[in-house]
Structure 1
Amino acid sequence: MSARDQAVLKTVAAAPAPAADEARAILKRLGVPDSAFATSGRPATSPISGAVITHVRETSPDEAKAAIGRAHEAFKAWRKVPAPKRGEFVRLIGEELRAAKDDLGRLVTLEAGKVTSEGLGEVQEMIDICDFAVGLSRQLYGLTIATERADHRMMETWHPLGVCGVISAFNFPVAVWSWNAALAFVCGDSVVWKPSEKTLLTALGVQAIVERAAKRFGGVPEGLSEVLLGGREVGEVLVEDERVPILSATGSTAMGRQVGPKLASRFARAILELGGNNAAIVSPSADLDLALRGIAFAAMGTAGQRCTTLRRLFVHESVYDKLVPSLVKVYGSVRIGDPRTEGTLVGPLIDKSAFEGMERALDESRAAGGKVHGGGRYTEGACADGYYAKPALVEMPKQTGPVLRETFAPILYVMRYSDFDEVVEAHNAVGAGLSSSIFTTDLREAETFIASAGSDCGIANVNIGPSGAEIGGAFGGEKETGGGREAGSDAWKAYMRRATNTINYGKTLPLAQGVTFDVEA
Structure 2
Amino acid sequence: MKAFSGKYGNTLEFGHLIGGEEVFEGRVLERRNPSDLEDLVARFPEGTKETLRKAALKAREAFKEWSETPAPVRGQVLFNLAKILEREKPTLTRLMVREVGKTFKEAGGDVQEAIDTAIFFASEGRRLYGQTVPSEMRDKELFTFRRPLGVVGMITAGNFPIAVPSWKLIPAVLAGNTVVWKPSDDSPTLSYLFVKLFEEAGLPPGVINVVFGGGKDSTGQWLVELMDEGLLNKFAFTGSTKVGRWIGEVAGRNLIRPTLELGGKNPLVVMRDADLDLAVEGAWWSAFATGGQRCTSAGNILVDAPIYEEFKKRFLERTEATVVGNPLLYPEVTYGPFINERLFQRWLEHYT
Q: TM-score, normalised to structure 2's length?
A: 0.89
The structure-2 alpha-carbon separation of the partners of 1:61 and 1:172, relative to structure 1 and needing over 3 Å to count, comes to: same
Q: 1:356 aligns with which of 337, 342, 345?
A: 345
Q: For 1:182 and 1:103, how far apart are their aligned partners in 2?
A: 21
**Runs ≥4 residues deviating over 6 A:** 25-28, 33-40
Q: For 2:249 and 2:6, how far apart are their aligned partners in 1?
A: 39
One-letter amino acid of the structure 2 residue matched with residue 350 of structure 1: I
Partner of 1:189: 177
The answer to whether the Cα contact below 8 Å between 2:234 and 2:256 also exists between their aligned partners in 1 is yes
Q: For 2:92 and 2:347, how far apart are their aligned partners in 1?
A: 29
- How far apart are 1:154 and its partner, in Å? 2.7
One-letter amino acid of the structure 1 residue matched with residue 296 of structure 2: T
Q: 2:198 aligns with which of 202, 210, 215?
A: 210
**Structure 2: gaps spanning 5 or more residues:** 15-19
Q: For 2:27 and 2:180, how far apart are their aligned partners in 1?
A: 24
The answer to whether the Cα contact below 8 Å between 2:13 and 2:43 also exists between their aligned partners in 1 is no
- How far apart are 1:207 and its partner, in Å? 1.9
The answer to whether the Cα contact below 8 Å between 1:26 and 1:103 also exists between their aligned partners in 2 is no
The structure-2 alpha-carbon separation of the partners of 1:36 and 1:112, relative to structure 1 and needing over 3 Å to count, comes to: farther
- How far apart are 1:20 and its partner, in Å? 4.0
The structure-2 alpha-carbon separation of the partners of 1:54 and 1:25, relative to structure 1 and needing over 3 Å to count, comes to: closer
| 1:430-468 per-position Cα deviation (integer Å, ceiling 9, x unaligned) | xxxxxxxxxxxxxxxxxxxxxxxxxxxxxxxxxxxxxxx
One-letter amino acid of the structure 2 residue matched with residue 361 of structure 1: H
Partner of 1:22: 8
One-letter amino acid of the structure 2 residue matched with residue 330 of structure 1: R
The answer to whether the Cα contact below 8 Å between 1:77 and 1:221 also exists between their aligned partners in 2 is no
- How far apart are 1:284 and its partner, in Å? 1.5
Partner of 1:310: 298
Q: For 1:37 and 1:97, how far apart are their aligned partners in 2?
A: 26
The structure-2 alpha-carbon separation of the partners of 1:203 and 1:197, relative to structure 1 and needing over 3 Å to count, comes to: same
- How far apart are 1:292 and its partner, in Å? 1.1
Q: For 1:141 and 1:76, how far apart are their aligned partners in 2?
A: 21
- How far apart are 1:27 and its partner, in Å? 8.5
| 1:10-46 per-position Cα deviation (integer Å, ceiling 9, x unaligned) | xxxxxxxxx9433427889xxxx99677996111111
**Structure 1: gaps spanning 5 or more residues:** 1-18, 215-219, 364-521
Q: Name the larger-Rg structure.
A: 1
Whether 1:113 aligns to 2:101 is: yes
Partner of 2:221: 236
One-letter amino acid of the structure 2 residue matched with residue 45 of structure 1: R
- How far apart are 1:337 and its partner, in Å? 0.6
The structure-2 alpha-carbon separation of the partners of 1:276 and 1:124, relative to structure 1 and needing over 3 Å to count, comes to: same
- How far apart are 1:123 and its partner, in Å? 0.8
Whether 1:329 aligns to 2:312 is: no
The structure-2 alpha-carbon separation of the partners of 1:36 and 1:319, relative to structure 1 and needing over 3 Å to count, comes to: farther
- How far apart are 1:152 and its partner, in Å? 3.4
Whether 1:97 aligns to 2:80 is: no
Partner of 1:138: 126
The answer to whether the Cα contact below 8 Å between 1:39 and 1:55 also exists between their aligned partners in 2 is no
Q: 1:47 aligns with which of 28, 34, 42?
A: 34
Partner of 2:17: none
Q: TM-score, normalised to structure 1's length?
A: 0.61
| 1:178-231 per-position Cα deviation (integer Å, ceiling 9, x unaligned) | 1111111110111211011222111111122122112xxxxx543111100112
Alignment partner of 1:158: what SS? coil
The answer to whether the Cα contact below 8 Å between 2:74 and 2:174 also exists between their aligned partners in 1 is yes
Partner of 1:263: 251
Give the alignment's Cα RMSD to 1 decimal.
2.3
Q: For 2:186 and 2:24, how far apart are their aligned partners in 1?
A: 15
Q: 1:278 aligns with which of 255, 266, 272?
A: 266
Q: For 2:72 and 2:22, how far apart are their aligned partners in 1?
A: 34
The answer to whether the Cα contact below 8 Å between 2:78 and 2:122 also exists between their aligned partners in 1 is yes
The answer to whether the Cα contact below 8 Å between 2:75 and 2:174 also exists between their aligned partners in 1 is yes
Partner of 2:308: 320
Alignment partner of 1:152: what SS? coil
One-letter amino acid of the structure 2 residue matched with residue 65 of structure 1: R
Percent identity of paired positions between Structure 1 and Structure 2 = 32
The structure-2 alpha-carbon separation of the partners of 1:119 and 1:38, relative to structure 1 and needing over 3 Å to count, comes to: farther
Q: For 2:248 and 2:6, how far apart are their aligned partners in 1?
A: 37
Alignment partner of 2:348: what SS? helix
Alignment partner of 2:331: what SS? coil
- How far apart are 1:279 and its partner, in Å? 1.6
